[in-house]
Structure 1
Amino acid sequence: MHARTDDQGLPLSSVLTGGEASDFGTAPNLLNITCRKPRLFPADKGHDGDVVRQSQFLAGISPVIPPKSNRKRANCSQSPGF
């Protein structure tokens, strides 16, 4: 289960996926749900991909995602905290 919350941590929406499904594809579904545009996109390492990060920046959203241990390219645009 993946959830979208407001700045207070209250759930706005959720997307349910199978246990074997990748986290990578859920970000667009959550962000397309109609509600106020977020400033930050906190997520786990499963969302660490250039496509997800680039789409967030283009939408004016700052991704807060720790890098995967096997990331080949350094993440120069990482948000504070990671």
Structure 2
Amino acid sequence: MRRRCKGGTPRQGRGRSRGGFSTKIHLPTNGEGLPVAVEIAPGPTSDYTGAVPLLDADGPEPRGVIADRGYDADHLRETMHARSITPVTPSRRNRRVQIVIDGHIYALRNRIERYINNETCVRLA
């Protein structure tokens, strides 16, 4: 018996994984942690595919980008340096030359996590 291929609904921003449907939220914020733009992508897609459209979003030009390891790509770093944006992204483990970042600045990334958790709680209540 032949198994069916897994399907997904990428037009709706959902992707199928072992756990079911999932999405990724790319949410750039300003210095106070308030959202500037939002991009919703299917869960199985790579993180850095949603980063460049957010850099081109309307609003003020960012001076820095604080992101997790999923956004560590050479082409993203080159794009940010060309636009005078400072990337604060830890290196992936398989990178030959690890890039050193400021841990105090990277710790500010939790503002986005707190914003998403707060909004989720407000919507559920």
TM above 0.5, yes or no, is yes
Task: For 2:94 and 2:79, locate their aligned partners in 1 and report how far apart those are by CA, in whole Å.
Answer: 21
Q: Alpha-carbon deviations, 1:13-55, whole Å to 9, x = none?
A: 1000001010011111111111001111011101101110111
Give every structure 1 segment of 4 or more consecutive aligned residues whose post-TM-superposition deviation is greater than 6 Å.
none
Q: Could you tell me the percent identity over the aligned residues?
A: 32
Task: For 1:15 and 1:7, locate their aligned partners in 2 and report how far apart those are by CA, in whole Å.
Answer: 19
- TM-score under structure 2 length normalisation: 0.60
- TM-score under structure 1 length normalisation: 0.89
User: RCO higher in 1 or 2 (8 Å CA, sep ≥ 6)?
Assistant: 1
Task: For 1:79 and 1:59, locate their aligned partners in 2 and report how far apart those are by CA, in whole Å.
Answer: 19
Q: Which structure has the highest helix share of the two?
A: 2
Task: For 1:4 and 1:15, locate their aligned partners in 2 and report how far apart those are by CA, in whole Å.
Answer: 9
Partner of 1:67: 91
Instruction: Tell me which structure has the larger Cα radius of gyration.
Output: 2
| Alignment partner of 1:3 is 2:27 | yes
Name the Cα RMSD after superposition.
1.3
